[in-house]
């Protein structure tokens, strides 16, 4: 078995454990009740974290292209593990802020590097057309791990509020073991010059991102989608609390959310075959409908509308990264993907404080209705731009 083929097989295990940070179901409660923050402060933390990721995103992506994807993943996972320890030790807003910045740095090192490593391995094997199917299957395994972790998090949180963080640190240590098993794929682009400097790498990749019509159009869509996708996540627990769902069931709900995302991601290639040219419209429509239902339902059964967001979650990365990777040369792949992540997170960082203001001055139901209306309008503009620039086939070619 070739080393690159081992990369593909190892990627499944890497993906499973790299995302096994099981604090999702309790993180808002952890900030509010353990660290004593207000919801507005939590949104401010998220905004600063997103800005920090924006600052780190492109420099770390260029490091991945210059030094290698494997080195970038090792640094990223180590920083994430350190940040989880700092969460436990943190006191008050400023302590949590330090942990958030460390997490953002770790995420930035990982962002784009893992996808670039997988895609270039497949490209060298002549199997790049299988990317969305393989990445979807790997993402599915991650969601299954998160599903089990969601249940575990709810129970261990009641034993000790810091246990979900510490268990996640153990998963990061296991992730590092699988990163060491990767082999660095060769870059197969034509005419690349690996003697270029770090800043030349950033400049060339940035110019490519801005100047490529299809990349630019897809980037606009992803920025709009990501803003509302992330805002929706921060409202899960406040909504469940508002409809009087017992805390012990929140972990079970997150289990169901992750299972839904896992099944969707595993079958993303089949869903893309059905939705064809309307895949991006379909993904956005799921979020809009979910927000509308959550805006009018005041019973705990309404929380099941969040499953629509989980279907969109399972589709988003395999679909959009397939479209992006098709147009990005290997030698700039990690840096360009970092520019993509930079743009989406910058948009999110600007929106989080607005969400905090909206939530603090209205109720959770009105907040969801406002999100539904605004997303409908902004998504329509983004999809119109894609169609105008790329024609009827949108982002598929």
Share of the chain above pLDDT 70, in %: 90
Task: Summarize pLDDT for 71-128 with one digit per residue, the tens.
Answer: 889 999 999 999 999 999 888 889 889 998 999 889 888 877 887 888 888 887 778 7
Domain map (residue ranges) of the chain = 3-182+197-390
| Burial environment of residue 193 by CB neighbours within 10 A (0 to 12, 13 to 18, 19 or more) | exposed
Does the pTM of the predicted model rise above 0.85? no
Q: Find the mean pLDDT for residues 265-290.
A: 86
Mean pLDDT score of the chain: 82
Task: Summarize pLDDT for 200-215 with one digit per residue, the tens.
Answer: 667 777 787 777 778 8
- 3-182+197-390 sits in which CATH class? mainly alpha
Q: Is the distance from CB of 167 to CB of 22 less than 8 angstroms?
A: yes
Q: Find the mean pLDDT for residues 207-226.
A: 84
The pLDDT assigned to 247 comes to: 66
pLDDT surpasses 60 at 190: no
pLDDT surpasses 90 at 287: yes
Give the angle 243-368-299 at the CA atoms, nearest 5°.
20
Q: Highest mean pLDDT range out of 17-21, 86-90, 291-295?
A: 291-295
The pLDDT assigned to 197 comes to: 61
Q: Find the mean pLDDT for residues 282-307.
A: 92
Among 31-45, 48-62, 291-305, which stretch is predicted with the lowest mean pLDDT? 48-62
d(CA 187, CA 321): 18
Nearest CA to 247 out of 161, 182, 307 is that of: 161
Tokens of 114: 């893992």
Q: How confident is the model at residue 394 (pLDDT cuts 50, 70, 90)?
A: very low
Among 78-82, 131-135, 362-366, 372-376, which stretch is predicted with the lowest mean pLDDT? 131-135
The pLDDT assigned to 192 comes to: 47
């Amino acid at each position: 078995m070739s080393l690159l083929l081992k990369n593909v097989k190892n990627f499944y295990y890497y993906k499973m454990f790299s995302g096994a940070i099981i604090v999702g179901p309790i993180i808002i409660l952890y900030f509010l009740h353990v660290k004593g923050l207000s919801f507005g402060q939590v949104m401010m933390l998220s905004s600063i974290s997103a800005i920090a990721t924006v600052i780190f995103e492109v420099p770390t992506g260029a490091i991945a292209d210059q030094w290698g994807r494997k080195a970038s993943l090792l640094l990223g996972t180590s920083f994430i593990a350190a940040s989880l320890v700092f969460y436990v030790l943190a006191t008050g807003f400023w302590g949590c802020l330090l942990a958030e910045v460390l997490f953002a740095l770790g995420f930035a090192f990982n962002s784009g590097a893992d996808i670039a490593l997988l895609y270039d391995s497949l490209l060298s094997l002549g199997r790049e057309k299988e990317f969305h199917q393989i990445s979807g299957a790997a993402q599915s395994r991650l969601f299954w791990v998160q599903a089990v972790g969601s249940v575990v998090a709810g129970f261990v949180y009641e034993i000790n509020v810091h246990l979900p963080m510490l268990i996640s640190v153990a998963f990061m240590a296991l992730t590092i073991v699988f990163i060491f098993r990767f082999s660095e794929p060769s870059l197969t682009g034509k005419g690349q010059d690996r003697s270029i400097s770090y800043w030349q790498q950033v400049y060339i990749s940035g110019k490519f991102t801005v100047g490529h019509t299809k990349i630019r159009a897809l980037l606009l869509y992803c920025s709009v989608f990501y803003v509302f996708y992330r805002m929706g996540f921060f409202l899960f627990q406040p909504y469940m609390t508002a409809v009087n769902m017992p805390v012990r069931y929140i972990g079970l709900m997150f289990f169901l959310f992750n299972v839904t995302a896992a099944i969707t991601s595993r079958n993303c290639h089949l869903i893309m075959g059905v939705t064809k040219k309307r895949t991006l419209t379909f993904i956005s429509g799921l979020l809009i409908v979910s927000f509308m239902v959550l805006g009018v339902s005041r019973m705990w059964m309404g929380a099941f509308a969040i499953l629509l967001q989980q279907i969109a979650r399972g589709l988003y990365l395999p679909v959009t990264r397939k479209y992006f990777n098709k147009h990005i040369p290997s030698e700039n792949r990690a840096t360009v993907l970092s520019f993509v992540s930079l743009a989406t997170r910058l948009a999110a960082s600007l929106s989080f404080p607005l969400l905090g203001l909206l939530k603090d001055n209205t109720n959770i139901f009105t907040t969801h209705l406002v999100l539904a209306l605004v997303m409908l309008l902004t998504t329509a503009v983004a999809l119109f731009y894609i169609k105008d620039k790329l024609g009827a086939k949108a982002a598929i070619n």
